Amino acid sequence: MVVIKRGLYLGRFQIFHNGHLHIIKHISQQPDIDEVLINIGSSQYNQENKSPEAPWIINPFSFEERKELIDRSIKNELETPYKIIGVQDHHYCPSWIQQVKYSNPNFQVFFSNTRKEINLFEKQGFETRRVPIKDKFHAQIIREMIAYEDDFSQYVPKGVVEVVEEFGLVKKLRDFYIKHKEEIAYVHNLQKEKNITSYVDMFGDEKVKQMLGL
């Protein structure tokens, strides 16, 4: 009997970028992994449905949009078959991990660099493996580059650029940010507190002020 060994990688993918692609390629290249399970976390949150525990602007894209962004980016790029699966956020670890297990029957290896996630899955008896970080990317910066119409193409796969254009995501994201502009400064301050580079750190605040009317 042939046993298919599956590796699982989970993220919100708001937005899918080159760092994600590098990790997924790495997983698909593992000699003992036969299939990659890509889980889109917080799949229920988008511009119409806000997370009760996070600023609205960090979850602008729907599950369907994120799935298309990923699928278009990794098609013909991996050495193994893959599946893209949505997993809702339960905001309670025991319920959340049961949801992941239910949505991904028969997976054996969990890939992550997040210590909390690694501990959770190891306690459930799963093998865990670290993933390589090629470059440090932060999706919030890329989202703001899209909204402010900067050239973001060097940070994302070609498929993401195509989907952003085809789905009209520049205008959709810009309008969403304007609607919730009070959260922009909050997120920038949060990034500063956590020593995370923000859009303002990289590009200044002129475009932010101009777009949001500040």
Q: How do beta strands 127-129 and 109-111 pair?
A: parallel
Domain boundary among 129, 164, 188: 129
Domain boundary among 99, 129, 159: 129
pLDDT value of residue 205: 83
Domain boundary among 83, 109, 129: 129
C-alpha dihedral sign at 188, 193, 198, 202: positive
pLDDT value of residue 189: 87
Q: Is residue 1, in this structure, part of any structural domain at all?
A: no
Q: Is residue 35, in this structure, part of any structural domain at all?
A: yes
pLDDT value of residue 9: 98
Give per-residue pLDDT as tens, 23-39.
999 999 999 999 999 99
Averaged pLDDT of the chain:
92
Q: Is residue 171, in this structure, part of any structural domain at all?
A: yes
- Phi and psi angles of residue 103, each rounded to the nearest 5 degrees, phi first: -80, -15
CATH number, domain with residue 118: 3.40.50.620
Q: Is residue 99, in this structure, part of any structural domain at all?
A: yes
Give per-residue pLDDT as tens, 104-114.
989 999 999 99
> Residue 15's pLDDT band (boundaries 50, 70, 90)?
very high
Measuring CA to CA, how many Å separate 54 from each of 87, 117, 166, 187?
17, 19, 28, 10
Tokens 């599946």 -> residue: 83
Examine the domain organization and report whether 21 and 105 are in the same domain. yes
Is residue 2 over pLDDT 70? no
Give per-residue pLDDT as tens, 88-143.
998 888 889 999 999 998 999 999 999 999 999 999 999 999 998 877 778 999 99
Q: How many CB atoms lie within 10 A of CB 113?
A: 12
Q: How many domains does the chain have?
A: 2
Is residue 214 over pLDDT 70? no
Q: Is residue 134, in this structure, part of any structural domain at all?
A: no
Q: Is residue 153, in this structure, part of any structural domain at all?
A: yes
pLDDT value of residue 208: 81
C-alpha dihedral sign at 4, 114, 50, 63: negative
Examine the domain organization and report whether 44 and 121 are in the same domain. yes
- Beta bridge partners, 129, equal 111
Examine the domain organization and report whether 79 and 170 are in the same domain. no
Domain, as residue range, for 174: 139-212
Q: Is residue 207, in this structure, part of any structural domain at all?
A: yes
Examine the domain organization and report whether 118 and 145 are in the same domain. no
Q: Is residue 159, in this structure, part of any structural domain at all?
A: yes
Examine the domain organization and report whether 117 and 161 are in the same domain. no
pLDDT value of residue 1: 59
Give per-residue pLDDT as tens, 32-83.
999 999 999 999 999 999 999 999 999 999 999 999 999 999 998 998 999 9
Q: What is the per-residue DSSP string for the chain?
A: -PPPPEEEEEE--TT--HHHHHHHHHHHT-TT--EEEEEEESTT-SSSS--TTS-GGG--S-HHHHHHHHHHHHTTT-SS-EEEEEE---SSHHHHHHHHHHHSTT--EEE-S-HHHHHHHHHTT-EEE-----S---HHHHHHHHHTT---GGGS-HHHHHHHHHTTHHHHHHHHHHHTTHHHHHHHHHHHHTT---HHHHH-SHHHHHHHT-
Examine the domain organization and report whether 63 and 158 are in the same domain. no
